[in-house]
Amino acid sequence: MAMLVFPGQGSQKPGMGKFLFENFGLAKECFDEGSEALKLDLKQLCFNASESDLALTENTQPALLVTSTATQKVLRSEFGVQPSMSAGHSVGEYAALVAAGVLDFAAAIRAVRIRGQAMQSAVPTGKGGMAALMGLEPQQAEELCAFVEKRSGKSPLSPANFNCPGQIVVSGAAPAIEWLRTEFKVENLWGETGPTRVKVIPLQVSAPFHCAMMKPAEEKMREVLSAIPFKNADFGIIQNFQALVETQAEQLKENLIRQISAPVRWTQSMQEAQKLGFTQIIECGGGKVLAGLLKKISPDFQVYSTNSLDDLKLIESLAIV
């Protein structure tokens, strides 16, 4: 059984989707439709923009969506892939909903453009931050965040991304992140019973995503998404918010809204997929970020990338349906 997964921010790269545009009319139509919906040249943005321009959140999110959508359409139309399940990492969940017939593509790309703008403007520059924690279990990350809030007197700080075992990203107020980086000592929280070492890596991000500081963006997207028709899904979607399979329109919408200020439960989502028997995974979009995470989540996953014609032909030859 084939499962499609769709990457989020961090997977963008100049040139993303260009080979699809040059080789498949369906992909060209997708880029044209998205460009018309936004009144923005997505070809220029994805193929020729600088890394810094592409990294702007309001640009990154539609660029990822158009590339991921073009990829899944070509896979299904030209290479015989018939997905039975999907999931997306953060903004990638919009691509999963488009693939499953829940959202109209033009409406979705307009929504993610607003989402990017709302997330960027929710917190003044420099007031929030994110950091990767290496070496903790999910429960330990929760305990650490509560400890930092208490000891530093600064909040919020909470897990934002459960990416894979041993790699959890936290998000929140910049002073809490700084206290974590400079003052936290493992023994002060867990004594001799905790992990031997925790590595804290501050991330260069433009805002503290997936934490309580994103509530203004969540409220904005509730307004935006409430005006967009949602349909029941053609196949199951494991959503970030609860890491459970969902197909019903109203619940899909609510979970999509709530994920903006809630953690991305990627590890738990992929463990759920494995439990349901999905081990053949196709990463639809640029890069191999999700492939790297999946290999750390379970060695049983067979992950296929979609970065070239050869990648697509390999998927076709293996008859991954």
Contact by Cβ (8 Å): 78, 135: no
Calculated CA dihedral for residues 8, 9, 12, 16, nearest 10 degrees: 30
- The owner of tokens 């084939």 is 2
Q: In what order do the strands lie in the sheet with 280-283?
A: 245-246, 236-238, 85-88, 2-6, 280-283, 302-304
Which tokens belong to 292? Answer: 């790297």
Pick the catalytic residue from 210, 261, 269, 305.
Answer: 210
**What is d(CA 46, CA 89) in angstroms, rounded to the nearest whole number?**
19
Paired sense of beta strands 236-238 and 85-88, if any: parallel
Pick the catalytic residue from 35, 68, 86, 90.
Answer: 90
CB atoms within 10 A of CB 65: 28
**What is d(CA 297, CA 294) in angstroms, rounded to the nearest whole number?**
5
90 is catalytic: yes
Give Cα separations from 235 to 82, 101, 112, 312 (angstroms). 10, 9, 22, 22
- DSSP conformational letter for 166: T
* Cα angle value 89/50/26 (rounded, 5°): 60
Annotated active-site positions, please? Answer: 90, 210
